[in-house]
């Protein structure tokens, strides 16, 4: 049975800083790729949100934007936040965390893969084989404490981490299913539970629920790692990693570390997936230091767009969207590996527009 | 005013696995070094503790061992823990955490420095300039939750992180003083507060107290980093780091990651420092896979021994002990850089005894 949808509605939140620069690049590339493939087109609806919009309007994440996201088939998110714009109580404007809660985006997916053209950060030649994916739980864990912290008499502060059975089941189930899919691509799946079960009872509980879920997937190998040892192993032999699943805060730290292994945030695509919703955003921030100059590398945003097409392809049984996703990935890889355009962060001279033009130009070449 | 002590009493806890192999190596090297320098000798008193001792005796950390530590001038610790030996409730045997609480060892110090002979993990040549120190708070933070976790109906688990003003003051004060000392060695000190102040109120509190302490050290530069960004920067440009101070759990993760940058746990020395006590241990574990074979690299333990001599030198105003510490460090560096002995973990053939012999042999050469 194939999809009956002949177009997809995408809610677009460029946000702040370089989010506003890389987003148009991404939309252009998606448009071009679906055309080349003959996949159903996307209609993009842009909404303002973020710190700079807050400064202008008094609203960081307007209800109308949230409603538009709810009605859309998927959400594209640039980056939000700005150094000196804060809420009156001094807290930072980070609507991405609100959206994760609002839409139950429990699985933060961060694929980490090296390909030719990326910097060789590690000197071991095996690092060219880096290809793993980190699944970060995104609705509980230590982030449960956000907005709930307690400060007593300016002397003691407390934040509580929550691990629920339901929350752990859904994210570990997600990880096992992902490992199964990778198996279909001819690779044996291994899911590693990354925790600190030797010290914290919530983490021992996380591991216990992970084990229960693993029982239902006898075809997938399981493994365990303490988060500290895993951080070391990410540097020592990341090529041995496959699918990792972990708590929210640990996942936040490890996913940035992982991005470092393949050359930093310029390439770090990510997806925030829930039961019904999917939000796709580069892992980088708003980069105030380079914002407004048009020099940001749009690759992470573009690759996040490809993750969106992949997700829509499965959800709506529209294989052509997956073809468009593959095409985009191939075009980005072609651009970098042939050095048609070398992003400034890797010592080249290509700005955002140059990168975009090269990737679009490569769509035909790699088809 | 110089020391009146003419010998030092060291409580020695070799522990489990390779702890029992690297400890004798360390004691031999210390003995030899203080002799070469003519510093006051150490008298070592060995006590059993750990998982294997628990299996034999029913006690993991006997009161007599704790008392001996209390009476000693310093504590040398090997490694403790063993895969299948656990307490009846299923929790792991990790007396190192109990000792941190018992003796108020609030500052976990992890020096990270590259020197010739160490593997070049990062391909950037600037990585040869890696030279920073991580200070991990060790008496509160998320580890406050140990033994206090709550599990409700097998459905939800909670662990609470605690940040106190007193705890944060003492560890950040420690970091600033360390930065000041480094300044004396001709390097400008920069202390970076590593937190997640953008999300957690306890972490914002940590940063606030850090700022207050920084006020008292106008000569030292201060900086901030979110823990996720810092993890990325450790891979991207660790040569730019100087003194880092952070919460317990973050420090646990970052210190292992940092060790990875200079070739892993075989070189990772550490010190656990309190108001009155000092415990010195390699950052590695008991390594059940290689334990009993005599092949462990004793360098981390030996360098931890040098950290002990340094600490005693300051505490008891005995500069000769600092000379002995420098001598040991130089001998380890000489051994590795001249490849007199290459540890097996770096592809060489030197076992624990070979390494020890080479380091002792080098003491004269580097004097
Ligand atoms: C902006 C910040 C609060 C956020 C997080 O910690 O989740 C970011 O680091 C991320 O990973 O999306
Ligand atoms: C053994 C373990 C509980 C311990 C910790 O987490 O503190 C270790 O990783 C360390 O860093 O000393």
The pLDDT value recorded for residue B90 is: 79
Q: Is the pLDDT of residue A340 over 80?
A: yes
Mean pLDDT (chain B, rounded):
95
- Give the distance from residue A282's alpha carbon to the nearest chain B alpha carbon, in angstroms: 15
The pLDDT value recorded for residue A216 is: 97
For chain B, the domain total comes to 2
Q: What does the buried/exposed string (b/e) look like for B66-95 if buried means 16 or more CB atoms within 10 Å of the residue's CB?
A: bebbeebbbbbbbbbbbeebbeeeeebbbb
Final residue of a structural domain among B261, B286, B319: B261
Average pLDDT over residues B143-164: 96
Final residue of a structural domain among B200, B235, B261: B261
Q: Is the pLDDT of residue B29 over 70?
A: yes
Question: Is there a single domain that holds both residue A218 and residue A99?
Answer: no
B367, part of any domain: yes
pLDDT > 70 fraction of chain A, expressed in percent and rounded: 97
Residue nearest to atom 7 of ligand 1 (CA): A252
Distance A74 CA to ligand 2 centre (A): 42
Using alpha carbons, select from B300, B270, B264, B295 the residue that is nearest to residue B96. B270
B8, part of any domain: yes
Paired residues of A246 in beta bridges: A136, A194
Question: Is there a single domain that holds both residue B144 and residue B254?
Answer: yes
As a residue count, chain A comes to 367
Q: Does ligand 2 come within 6 angstroms of the Cβ of B98?
A: no
Q: Does ligand 1 come within 6 angstroms of the Cβ of A249?
A: no
- Containing H/E element for B151? strand B150-152
Distance B329 CA to ligand 2 centre (A): 25
A16, part of any domain: yes
Q: Is the pLDDT of residue B263 over 90?
A: no
B114, part of any domain: no
Q: Select from B165, B233, B235 the Cβ nearest to the Cβ of A155.
A: B165
Q: Tell me which of A128, A235, A239, A248 to substitute to probe the interface with B (most B C-beta atoms closer than 10 Å).
A: A235
Tally of CB atoms within 10 A around B337: 12
Residue B57 has φ and ψ, to the nearest 5°, of -120, -15
CATH number at residue B177: 3.40.718.10
Q: Is the pLDDT of residue B3 over 70?
A: no
Q: Is the pLDDT of residue A322 over 80?
A: yes
**Tens digits of per-residue pLDDT, A274-310?**
999 999 999 999 999 999 999 999 999 999 999 999 9
Question: Is there a single domain that holds both residue A130 and residue A247?
Answer: yes
The pLDDT value recorded for residue A1 is: 53
Q: Give the domain range for residue A247.
A: 120-261
Question: Is there a single domain that holds both residue B229 and residue B127?
Answer: yes
Average pLDDT over residues B171-191: 85
- Give the distance from residue A141's alpha carbon to the nearest chain B alpha carbon, in angstroms: 9
Question: Is there a single domain that holds both residue B41 and residue B98?
Answer: yes
The pLDDT value recorded for residue A363 is: 96
In order of A120, A301, B65, B78, B239, the CA distances from A344 in angstroms are 16, 16, 59, 47, 21
Question: Is there a single domain that holds both residue B172 and residue B293?
Answer: no
Using an 8 Å CB-CB cutoff, list chain B residues near A145.
Answer: 161, 200-202
- Give the distance from residue A225's alpha carbon to the nearest chain B alpha carbon, in angstroms: 12
Q: Tell me which of B97, B124, B210, B253 to substitute to probe the interface with A (most A C-beta atoms closer than 10 Å).
A: B253
The C-alpha angle A142, A144, A148, rounded to 5 degrees, equals 110
Q: Tell me which of B232, B244, B262, B285 to substitute to probe the interface with A (most A C-beta atoms closer than 10 Å).
A: B232
- pLDDT band, residue B264 (cuts 50/70/90): confident
**Tens digits of per-residue pLDDT, A33-51?**
999 999 999 999 999 999 9
- List all residues of chain A from 294 to 333 with a beta carbon under 8 Å from chain B: none
Are A330 and A272 in contact by the 8 Å Cβ rule? The answer is: no
Final residue of a structural domain among B239, B261, B283: B261
Residue nearest to atom 12 of ligand 1 (CA): A283
Residue nearest to atom 11 of ligand 1 (CA): A252
Using alpha carbons, select from A296, A277, A276 the residue that is nearest to residue A286. A296
pTM tops 0.95: yes
- Give the distance from residue B40's alpha carbon to the nearest chain A alpha carbon, in angstroms: 38
Question: Is there a single domain that holds both residue B137 and residue B156?
Answer: yes
A115, part of any domain: no
- pLDDT band, residue B174 (cuts 50/70/90): very high
pLDDT > 90 fraction of chain B, expressed in percent and rounded: 90
- pLDDT band, residue A107 (cuts 50/70/90): very high
B2 inside 8 A of chain A by CB: no
A31, part of any domain: yes
The pLDDT value recorded for residue B23 is: 98
The C-alpha angle B330, B334, B338, rounded to 5 degrees, equals 170
Q: Is the pLDDT of residue B51 over 60?
A: yes
Sorted by sequence, the CB contacts under 8 Å of residue A309 that are 6+ apart come out as: A30, A33, A34, A39, A321, A322, A324, A325, A328
Q: Select from A157, A255, A265 the Cβ nearest to the Cβ of B205.
A: A157
- pLDDT band, residue A182 (cuts 50/70/90): confident
Average pLDDT over residues B200-229: 96
Q: Does ligand 2 come within 6 angstroms of the Cβ of B270?
A: no
Q: Does ligand 1 come within 6 angstroms of the Cβ of B199?
A: yes
B142 inside 8 A of chain A by CB: yes
Which range is least confidently modeled, A77-81, A187-191, B14-18, B357-361? A187-191
Chains A–B, number of C-beta pairs less than 8 Å apart: 177
Between CA A9 and CA A312 the distance in angstroms is 11
A114 inside 8 A of chain B by CB: no
Are B142 and B159 in contact by the 8 Å Cβ rule? The answer is: yes
Using an 8 Å CB-CB cutoff, list chain A residues near B201.
Answer: 145, 149-151, 157, 159
The pLDDT value recorded for residue A2 is: 58
Distance B252 CA to ligand 2 centre (A): 7
Using an 8 Å CB-CB cutoff, list chain B residues near A202.
Answer: 145, 149, 151, 157-159
Question: Is there a single domain that holds both residue A353 and residue A303?
Answer: yes
A159/B201 Cβ within 8 A: yes
- pLDDT band, residue B345 (cuts 50/70/90): confident
Counting ligands in written order, which one lies closest to the CA of residue B256? 2
Average pLDDT over residues A113-130: 96
A200/B146 Cβ within 8 A: yes
Question: Is there a single domain that holds both residue B179 and residue B255?
Answer: yes
- Give the distance from residue A3's alpha carbon to the nearest chain B alpha carbon, in angstroms: 38
The pLDDT value recorded for residue B186 is: 67
Between CA A184 and CA A187 the distance in angstroms is 7
In order of A6, A56, A75, B181, the CA distances from A71 in angstroms are 16, 26, 10, 59
Average pLDDT over residues A208-234: 97
Average pLDDT over residues A223-251: 97
Using an 8 Å CB-CB cutoff, list chain B residues near A80.
Answer: none
Question: Is there a single domain that holds both residue A87 and residue A146?
Answer: no
B255/A157 Cβ within 8 A: no
A265/B232 Cβ within 8 A: yes
Residue nearest to atom 6 of ligand 2 (CA): B252
B353, part of any domain: yes
Question: Is there a single domain that holds both residue A350 and residue A298?
Answer: yes
A25, part of any domain: yes
- Containing H/E element for A162? strand A156-164
Q: Does ligand 1 come within 6 angstroms of the Cβ of A96?
A: yes
The pLDDT value recorded for residue B42 is: 98
Pocket test for ligand 2, best of B94, B106, B141, B146 (most atoms within 8 A of CB): B94
Residue nearest to atom 8 of ligand 2 (CA): B252
Question: Is there a single domain that holds both residue A242 and residue A138?
Answer: yes
Average pLDDT over residues B191-205: 96
Q: Is the pLDDT of residue B1 over 60?
A: no
Mean pLDDT (chain A, rounded):
95
Sorted by sequence, the CB contacts under 8 Å of residue A196 that are 6+ apart come out as: A203, A226, A227, A228, A250, B249, B252
As a residue count, chain B comes to 367
């Amino acid at each position: 049975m194939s999809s009956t949808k002949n177009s997809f509605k995408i809610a677009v939140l460029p946000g702040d800083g370089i989010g506003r620069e890389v987003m148009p690049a991404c939309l252009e590339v998606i448009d071009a790729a679906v055309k080349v493939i003959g996949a159903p087109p996307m209609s993009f609806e842009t909404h303002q949100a973020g710190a700079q919009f807050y400064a202008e309007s008094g609203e960081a994440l307007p209800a109308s934007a949230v409603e538009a996201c709810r009605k859309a088939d998927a959400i594209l998110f640039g980056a939000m936040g700005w150094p000196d714009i804060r809420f009156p109580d001094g807290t930072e404007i980070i609507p991405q965390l609100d959206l994760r809660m609002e839409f139950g985006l429990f699985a933060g997916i961060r694929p980490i893969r090296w390909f030719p053209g990326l910097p060789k950060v590690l000197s071991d030649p095996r690092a060219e084989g880096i290809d793993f994916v980190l699944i970060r739980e995104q609705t509980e864990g230590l982030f449960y404490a956000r907005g709930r912290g307690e400060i007593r008499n300016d002397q003691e502060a407390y934040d509580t981490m929550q691990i629920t059975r339901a929350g752990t089941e859904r994210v570990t189930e997600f990880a096992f299913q992902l490992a199964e899919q990778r198996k279909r691509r001819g690779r044996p799946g291994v899911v590693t539970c990354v925790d600190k079960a030797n010290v914290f009872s919530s983490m021992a509980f996380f591991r216990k629920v992970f084990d229960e879920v693993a029982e239902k997937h006898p075809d997938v190998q399981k493994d365990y790692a303490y988060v500290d040892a895993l951080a070391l192993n990410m540097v020592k032999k990341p090529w041995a990693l496959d699918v990792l699943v972990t708590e929210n805060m640990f996942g936040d730290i490890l996913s940035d570390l992982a991005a470092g292994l393949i050359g930093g945030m310029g390439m770090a695509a990510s997806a925030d997936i829930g039961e019904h919703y999917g939000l796709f955003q580069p892992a980088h921030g708003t980069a105030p230091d380079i914002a407004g100059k048009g020099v940001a590398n749009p690759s992470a945003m573009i690759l996040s767009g490809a993750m969106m097409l992949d997700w829509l392809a499965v959800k709506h049984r529209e294989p052509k969207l997956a073809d468009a996703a593959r095409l985009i990935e191939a075009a980005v890889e072609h651009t970098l590996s042939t050095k048609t355009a070398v992003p400034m962060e890797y010592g080249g001279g290509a700005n955002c527009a140059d990168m975009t033009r090269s990737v679009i130009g490569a769509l035909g070449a790699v088809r």
